[in-house]
Structure 1
Amino acid sequence: MGDQQNIGKCPVMHGANSASGQSVTGWWPESINLDILHQHDNKTNPMDEGFEYREEVRKLDFVAINRDLHALMTDSQEWWPADWGHYGGFMIRMAWHSAGTYRLADGRGGGGTGNQRFAPIASWPDNASLDKARRLLWPIKKKYGNKISWADLMILAGNIAYESMGFKTFGFSFGREDIWHPEKDIYWGAEKEWLAPSDERYGDVEKPETMQNPLAAVQMGLIYVNPEGVNGQPDPLKTAAQVRETFARMAMDDEETAALTVGGHTVGKCHGNGDASALSAEPEGADIVGQGFGWDNPNMQGRASNAITSGIEGAWTTHPTKFDMGYFDMLLDHEWELKKSPAGANQWEPVDIKEEDKPVDASDPSIRHNPIMTDADMGMKVDPTYRKILEDFRKDPERFQDAFARAWFKLTHRDLGPKSRYIGPDVPDEDLIWQDPIPAGNTDYIEEVVKEKIAEAGLSIGEMVSTAWDSARTFRGSDMRGGANGARIRLAPQKDWEGNEPDRLAKVLKIYEKIAADSGASVADVIVLGGSVGIEQAAKAAGHDILVPFAPGRGDASDEMTDAPSFEYLEPLADGFRNWQKKDYVVKPEEMLLDRAQLMGLTAPEMTVLIGGMRVLGTNHGGTKHGVFTDREGHLTNDFFVNLTDMAYSWKSVGENLYEVRDRKTDQKKWTATRVDLVFGSHSILRSYAEVYAQDDNQEKFVRDFVKAWTKVMNADRFDLEKLQAA
């Protein structure tokens, strides 16, 4: 009874402020959670209102911070000693694991937000001891303060580490803004335990391409593949197949994958010299006295050589603090046999090697140890394609170094967005196709003349608005790709996407391309202006004179500027805003709507008002009438919300994701709807927004809010307008 009495006298709700506490909505797990739309609310941000990191970082002393990072690399700290007195390999691993979570399917992950500081990533088994790497950087972060984000600093540290070990990197850009809360919208897998068998995320683990989308890593808590082999069972050919699929899902081809593997393992070492079970819990599960540290090693004894992370133990090359060609000679010129590390992990060691070719101990240079290879390294040796690439690299060191420099740059900058967002003195001059280059657009034309030509072209409001929406909806705030700028909707693969209604799109684009040619405007600008014309006409029909804000200057990309295969991943499989999905999925339509809205950077109120407006404007895919709760289609009214909340109607399921809205008195069908429509009446939070827009005194607010949200979508990829967007 004593413990119960103490709990009863606790001045706060017992357990309510810990992760084990029951959330207020936890009783209803099937209810959609809107938190993903608001997770980086300003309330989590400690910076002053109006603070703009991308402006602040331009004031950074770039020379001084590079000098300080160079000095850090060889300033071994007693509390966490450096391997061979050099932190280079450690910092590279931190930067790599920060950037390496990126996946092409949804653009999420990557090093662009500094999310390695937070759960779950900070406590992944694959990130063991990286808490120490970030703490080593703290004096530099403290010194330069607001002028350097953690996101930039972690990637920059990896770059400087390579430079300090003799490698010339391709370049670097600042500009990554920190988040201040875990990114809960990122799906890392459904497993409930670390390193659960990878079978759980494959249709068939023997077929890597059957890995569940949008995942790229093979097991929960890993960045890429299991270094010991598929499910920890060594088989280099099988591991090579997983490596190929995993890196492809990060937008890397075979040559880039091989270059990254070699370049990453040319320096540093693996750590597994001891009993892994002796380590304490990961940071998120560690005791409060750890002060953010996890994986405490009671057997470390101040020696770098006693560290344990992956469990594999040893260096890949003879000189692991020097960037050289030693990896090729070591891997390709030796026979390898399977061994066990001191921690019990599977690793490969050479059958025969000269003593002088062995790397020295990380703490005692008088001792030498066998080099090691992981199963992924052995995959490079036995897979015919990777083997050929490595042989070619070895024959041409300059080609290898260029390939690795470019691949490392791509790995660490992929989610930063287009080159127009790059900041700093080391930004490369070269335009790279994965940066989705777009030529500068013309602003020397008369906007009103273009709008008049569009209005006279005979297009419907639905055609004009839908085309603009389809062009802009591809934007992903996760990696700053897609959007209306570039007018890639007229190029492969976008022009043929089912969601873009190719026949309707071709008709509209033919008209727009002539208007663009006659006026000097880009097709991209004409597409967006077409949406403005449609909205302004619909608002006027509803009794509201409005002008949709417009910023000229979009450019038109060409096929040569477009990496078509990577754009395939941007194809919408569902668009709740146009009440369409390609087929039935396990995921509910309303959940797919949330995912799309989050990628586009929309809040829940913005999502709500856009849905209501798009329905009455007649933008449904294929012209369906689902959710068109109005008798005045083509008028920008709040009818969707008025009729959704009107108790004169009842609702009945009549098929898979199909419902009828019926008159309660006559039982006559009035309208049809989908789950995406009805969720705005059934979900308590969404209904509260719907009721706001249904009010008699909020018709003008509805139009005003719709135009504001619409403009946000149209300008989401206008990074030259960042100040305007922030305002």
Structure 2
Amino acid sequence: MDAKTGSIEGGCPMGHGDGGVRALLGRTNKDWWPEMLATEILNPNGPTNPYGDDYDYAEAFNTLDYNALKADLTALMTDSQPWWPADYGHYGPFFIRMAWHAAGTYRTADGRGGANSGQQRFAPLDSWPDNGNLDKARRLLWPIKQKYGKQISWADLFILAGNVAIESMGGPVFGFGGGRADVYEPERDIFWGSEDKWVNEGVQTRISPEHGMEVLEGPLAAIQMGLIYVNPEGPGGNPHDDAGMARDMRETFKRMAMNDEEIVALTAGGHTFGKAHGNGDPSTLGHAPAGGDLVAQGFGWVSGEEHGGIGEHTVTSGIEGAWTNTPDKWSENYFRLLLDYDYELVKSPAGANQWQPIDQKEEDMAPAAWDPSIKVPTMMTTADMALKRDPGFRKISEKFRTDHEAFKDAFARAWFKLTHRDMGPKVRYLGPEVPSEDLIWQDPIPAGKMPSDALVAEVKKKIADSDLTVSQLIKTAWASASTYRKSDHRGGANGARVALEPQKNWEVNEPAMLAKVIDTLNGLRGEMSLADAIVLGGVVALEKAGAKNVPFTGGRGDATQEQTDVESFDWMEPEADAFRNYVGKKKLAVKTEEMMLDRASLLGLSVPEMVVLIGGLRVLGANHGERGHGHFTKRSGQLTNDFFVNLYDMTNVWSESEGSNGEEYIAKDRKSGGETWRATRADLIFGSNSELRAIGEVYAENGNEEKFMTDFVKAWTKVMDADRFDLTWAKYHK
């Protein structure tokens, strides 16, 4: 795949001597497509919404004629257009792929990706090799989007179209929840990888047999650059690596919070429908959408052949053929064909590796997509063959073959999980088809009870009179609330999961200290939820530290261990947390300060909010393990601006601590040479980086002590309340 044009052949346009590796964000759209118009210059303060700041998508969605929209989508499925004709006269498989690939970029490690904001419309996703020709699916949807306008987002429309596609072909659907608001430019804080080549350019899998997962960078889930999941031809394109194929599938799906049964159900269910496209010459394909000419109007991969590369001649993945003999309807045929036949390796017309049944019966062959009177062999990819060859996958495949109802239920639930995983708590789901069942991956929390003013005052006094310190209360409240991430709306203080596995044993949370605080709060809170008591403890600590009028909004619930998906929460454990001056034992691939920015971004913080929070947390004693680094104050436990005042004191001179590998530093007095302070990278960055320093200097100025305290309390409260969808979304369910 040519990285500039999107063609299957060709090299990378990069000319960077350093390989262009960007530690935090990796490749940018400008790297891949240098001539792309840089519209972000007009949005220096972040993305804008053409509907205006007052537009409320959830409110608009609730005015939608949902049944009429579904009827229009159903009619679209069989309304084949000559500019992109439907295989078998039905667009259903095409829209299933579109919805799957919109949602399938989700990764549980940082909650980024997924369908939640309609990112498939923008580069780089609109031009990934794995998303080839989905630009046509979006254009097919345009008349419907145009008709319903602001009542339905592209993000919701992608997923609903996939559901309707399944239903229109007789397949099982578990439900649908709307509420995904669109954004109108690429989300630039997502790290998609640092490779300078796409899949099919000789790039090997990101998993190394020698080094396991260590080479799969940070939060990434896809096995190669430009893929949603795995290379269907095999690891690095090798169709004979059976063990590697199963390994790649397990690891990439695990990083999207899917287990073996869900892997089999999704693969088999998705491949029950439709066909792959490789019946042409891939060298004739033109630019991907992001690199196309003006006259292409956003269409990509246009063939230079006389036939235009559509219909019978379409080339997308390069693999050619249907998986089943009934590609336009739900059936039991996938497992029967996979398990009953022996397969041989063949090449598609486009040159891709695929597997074909040996001596296939005519009744088991598929109709040609362009002429149902013609019979053609079905096929399987190397990924499909893993469901037969891997013992664990094979056992599940055999089960689903004999129990089709179990297969239907597993597929419907796995599809719902795939397409809704990044939406957050169920209260954010809208529409008449939201399932009533609570699912563990939705992180359910029992409804909380709003505490009375009298109860709040009583518990506050008990906490204030206890032996819990300002440092302990601040650390515990921060540990609870700072798990929130805006990417998929998981985590946060609601539910008090900091008291449950796995969070209660995370090293960053100082388990022994945390257990003491939780035990004490449980003994003091009375009828108040533990989640509320933890946040209220932070309020008490701040007031002890000198803050005034610290807001508190109760009503949080307490989750149980049974309601907690331990494995998926494990992915959320911080490797570093600059807010607590913590760096774990694992050597980080990026700098500590870059991890700081990433965590602040997931918390939804602005630069000033991040700066004031870290400055305040340092003097309050929030450092992990009583670490003295960055504790630039003689008034420990008081909410002062001392961190900035002392950091910018020019009587100090800094040097790196011996043997610290650039992580720790010592300040000495310029005159006496005596040691004054110790710091980490996450401290000194607020003096060395000009932008952070500019903000920190505001808080260090004489007369801004009160501003510092006010701004800290505001930012602190924002983090404590970040996950209160039980309050903010309640109005949409009346």
TM score, norm. by length of structure 2: 0.91
**Does 1:508 pair with 2:517?**
yes
Alpha-carbon distance in structure 1 between the residues aligned to 2:636 and 2:398 = 65
**Counterpart in the other structure of 2:36:** none
Task: Classify 1:29/1:385 alpha carbon distance in 2 versus 1 (closer, same or farther; 3 Å).
Answer: closer
Alpha-carbon distance in structure 2 between the residues aligned to 1:259 and 1:234 = 22
**Counterpart in the other structure of 1:150:** 154
**Counterpart in the other structure of 1:259:** 265
Alpha-carbon distance in structure 1 between the residues aligned to 2:174 and 2:291 = 39
**Counterpart in the other structure of 1:13:** none
Q: CA deviation at 1:722?
A: 3.0
Q: Is the 8 A contact 2:92 2:328 kept in 1?
A: yes
**Counterpart in the other structure of 1:122:** 126
Q: Is the 8 A contact 1:78 1:302 kept in 2?
A: no
Q: Is the 8 A contact 1:208 1:241 kept in 2?
A: no
1:360 is paired with a residue whose SS is strand
Aligned letter for 1:359? A
Q: CA deviation at 1:366?
A: 2.1
Q: Percent identity between the aligned chains?
A: 58
**Counterpart in the other structure of 2:488:** 479
**Counterpart in the other structure of 1:706:** 712
Task: Classify 1:174/1:336 alpha carbon distance in 2 versus 1 (closer, same or farther; 3 Å).
Answer: same
Alpha-carbon distance in structure 1 between the residues aligned to 2:544 and 2:15 = 51
Alpha-carbon distance in structure 1 between the residues aligned to 2:330 and 2:23 = 52
Q: Which of these residues, 469, 491, 511, is aligned with residue 460 of structure 1?
A: 469
Q: Which of these residues, 654, 658, 662, is aligned with residue 657 of structure 2?
A: 654
Q: Is the 8 A contact 1:111 1:412 kept in 2?
A: yes
**Does 1:581 pair with 2:583?**
yes
Aligned letter for 2:429? Y
**Does 1:624 pair with 2:627?**
yes
Give per-residue Cα distances to partners, 1:22-55, cap 9 Å, x unaligned.
9xxx99988999x999989555322212112122
Q: Is the 8 A contact 1:102 1:250 kept in 2?
A: yes
Q: Which of these residues, 360, 370, 384, is aligned with residue 367 of structure 2?
A: 360
Task: Classify 1:32/1:74 alpha carbon distance in 2 versus 1 (closer, same or farther; 3 Å).
Answer: closer
Q: Is the 8 A contact 1:191 1:200 kept in 2?
A: no
Aligned letter for 1:254? D
Q: Is the 8 A contact 1:32 1:591 kept in 2?
A: no
**Counterpart in the other structure of 2:508:** 499
Alpha-carbon distance in structure 1 between the residues aligned to 2:729 and 2:648 = 38
2:719 is paired with a residue whose SS is helix
Alpha-carbon distance in structure 1 between the residues aligned to 2:633 and 2:725 = 37
Q: CA deviation at 1:240?
A: 1.8
Within 5 Å, which residues of 2 pair with 1:565-644? 565-583=567-585, 584-644=587-647
Alpha-carbon distance in structure 1 between the residues aligned to 2:622 and 2:416 = 41
**Counterpart in the other structure of 2:421:** 414
Aligned letter for 1:271? H
2:677 is paired with a residue whose SS is strand
Aligned letter for 2:677? W
Q: CA deviation at 1:211?
A: 3.3
TM score, norm. by length of structure 1: 0.92
Q: Is the 8 A contact 2:444 2:563 kept in 1?
A: yes
**Counterpart in the other structure of 2:104:** 100
Give per-residue Cα distances to partners, 1:649-684, cap 9 Å, x unaligned.
221212321111222222221111111001011111
1:368 is paired with a residue whose SS is strand
Q: CA deviation at 1:20?
A: 10
Alpha-carbon distance in structure 2 between the residues aligned to 1:674 and 1:248 = 34
**Does 1:141 pair with 2:148?**
no
Alpha-carbon distance in structure 2 between the residues aligned to 1:267 and 1:31 = 38
Q: CA deviation at 1:164?
A: 0.5
Alpha-carbon distance in structure 2 between the residues aligned to 1:327 and 1:698 = 69
**Counterpart in the other structure of 1:557:** 559
Q: CA deviation at 1:221?
A: 0.4
Give per-residue Cα distances to partners, 1:526-557, cap 9 Å, x unaligned.
000000110111125xxxxx111111111111
Alpha-carbon distance in structure 2 between the residues aligned to 1:354 and 1:31 = 53
Task: Classify 1:405/1:608 alpha carbon distance in 2 versus 1 (closer, same or farther; 3 Å).
Answer: same
Q: Is the 8 A contact 1:197 1:219 kept in 2?
A: no
Alpha-carbon distance in structure 2 between the residues aligned to 1:479 and 1:315 = 34
**Counterpart in the other structure of 1:675:** 681
Task: Classify 1:213/1:28 alpha carbon distance in 2 versus 1 (closer, same or farther; 3 Å).
Answer: closer
Alpha-carbon distance in structure 2 between the residues aligned to 1:314 and 1:200 = 25
**Does 1:521 pair with 2:525?**
no
Task: Classify 1:482/1:27 alpha carbon distance in 2 versus 1 (closer, same or farther; 3 Å).
Answer: closer
**Counterpart in the other structure of 1:696:** 702
Consecutive aligned runs of 4 or more in structure 1 exceeding 6 Å deviation: 19-22, 26-33, 35-40
Give per-residue Cα distances to partners, 1:164-184, cap 9 Å, x unaligned.
000130000001111222122
Give per-residue Cα distances to partners, 1:292-350, cap 9 Å, x unaligned.
11100233458522111000000011110101111111111111111111101111111
Alpha-carbon distance in structure 2 between the residues aligned to 1:335 and 1:224 = 26
Q: Which of these residues, 201, 212, 216, is aligned with residue 211 of structure 1?
A: 216
Cα-Cα RMSD: 2.5
Aligned letter for 1:385? G
Aligned letter for 1:306? H
2:355 is paired with a residue whose SS is strand
Alpha-carbon distance in structure 2 between the residues aligned to 1:563 and 1:205 = 30
Within 5 Å, which residues of 2 pair with 1:105-504? 105-195=109-199, 196-197=201-202, 199=204, 201-204=206-209, 207=212, 211-235=216-240, 236-299=242-305, 300-301=307-308, 303-445=310-452, 446-504=455-513
Alpha-carbon distance in structure 2 between the residues aligned to 1:497 and 1:198 = 36
**Does 1:530 pair with 2:537?**
yes
**Counterpart in the other structure of 1:539:** 546
Task: Classify 1:677/1:206 alpha carbon distance in 2 versus 1 (closer, same or farther; 3 Å).
Answer: closer
**Counterpart in the other structure of 1:11:** none
2:371 is paired with a residue whose SS is coil
Task: Classify 1:143/1:40 alpha carbon distance in 2 versus 1 (closer, same or farther; 3 Å).
Answer: farther
| Mean Cα deviation higher: 361-370 or 608-617 | 361-370
Q: Is the 8 A contact 1:247 1:253 kept in 2?
A: yes
Q: CA deviation at 1:186?
A: 1.6
Aligned letter for 1:560? E
1:696 is paired with a residue whose SS is coil
Q: Is the 8 A contact 1:319 1:359 kept in 2?
A: yes
Alpha-carbon distance in structure 1 between the residues aligned to 2:571 and 2:423 = 17
Task: Classify 1:146/1:294 alpha carbon distance in 2 versus 1 (closer, same or farther; 3 Å).
Answer: same
Within 5 Å, which residues of 2 pair with 1:1-12? none
Aligned letter for 2:500? L
Give per-residue Cα distances to partners, 1:57-89, cap 9 Å, x unaligned.
111111111111001111111111111111001
Alpha-carbon distance in structure 1 between the residues aligned to 2:649 and 2:582 = 25
**Counterpart in the other structure of 1:645:** 648
Q: Is the 8 A contact 2:23 2:590 kept in 1?
A: no
Alpha-carbon distance in structure 2 between the residues aligned to 1:273 and 1:353 = 20
Aligned letter for 2:693? R
2:512 is paired with a residue whose SS is helix
Alpha-carbon distance in structure 1 between the residues aligned to 2:466 and 2:188 = 46
Task: Classify 1:31/1:192 alpha carbon distance in 2 versus 1 (closer, same or farther; 3 Å).
Answer: closer
Give per-residue Cα distances to partners, 1:469-519, cap 9 Å, x unaligned.
001111121111111111111111111111111111111111100112x2x
